[in-house]
Amino acid sequence: MQKLFSVLLVSMVLLPLSVFAHGPTPQKAKESIVINASVDKVWDVVKDFGAIVNWHPDVKSSHGDGKHESGGIRTLVLQNGGELQDELDFYSDKDHEYSFRLKKENPQAFPVSSYTVSLQVLPAEADINKSEVTIKGRFYRGDTSNSPPENQNDAAAVEAMNTFIKHGLTGLQQKLEK
């Protein structure tokens, strides 16, 4: 009986403390846009993983290693001067899709500590002259401690990722519909 009482007492003391000892939770972002251009035309613009600078207004420069397969690398210099490095996880010309992850983080330039992102181009509705581009991401805040500063918390990460995705889709639409 004494042993049971001790276990219960320890559980009552330690359990409430463990509730506060958790790390960050993953955040998600997903945006789509319909573009007045065929899937092939849109894919021709976005398929070069290293050439995001050609359609994304928040990217000052970009270059890749030319590999369009798992392990391909690109480096981005953002308009704010920060640099990020991404690595391809999946690439399919047939499905007009790729996914990548953050290889080299820079939470001061982009307030996330990691992300995985996918981009896919599909036909929109029944019109072969329109495409729907979807970008979705899963990510963690820049500071993964229990008490991150405001510019590195979940809200900052969500805002940065949503803004980056929306600007990219709008930039792509403007490039293709001009």
Residue 2 lies in a domain: no
**61-76 residues labelled b (16+ CB within 10 A) or e (exposed):** ebebeeebeeebbbbb
Q: How do the pLDDT tens digits run along the chain, 178 residues long?
A: 666 555 544 455 554 544 455 678 999 999 999 999 999 999 999 999 999 999 999 999 999 999 999 999 999 999 999 999 999 999 999 999 999 999 988 999 999 999 999 999 999 987 889 999 999 999 999 999 999 999 999 999 999 999 999 999 999 999 999 8
pLDDT computed for residue 127 by the predictor: 83
Q: Is residue 138 part of a domain?
A: yes
Q: Is 133 exposed, middle or buried (0-12, 13-18, 19+ CB in 10 A)?
A: buried
Question: What is the sign of the dihedral through the CA atoms of 167, 170, 173 and 177?
Answer: negative
Asked if 42 contacts 169 with a C-beta cutoff of 8 angstroms, the reply is no
Number of domains the chain is built from: 1
Q: Is residue 46 part of a domain?
A: yes
Whether 137 maps to a domain, the answer reads: yes
pLDDT value at residue 178: 87
Would you say residue 7 lies in a domain?
Answer: no
Residues spanned by the domain of 140: 23-177
Task: For residue 144, tell me if it sits in a domain.
Answer: yes
Q: Are 84 and 78 in contact (CB under 8 A)?
A: yes
In a domain? residue 60: yes
Please, which residues bridge with residue 133 across strands?
33, 121
Report if residue 16 sits inside a domain. Answer: no
CATH number for the domain that contains residue 125: 3.30.530.20
With left for phi above 0 and alpha for psi between -120 and 50, is residue 110 left, alpha or beta?
Answer: beta
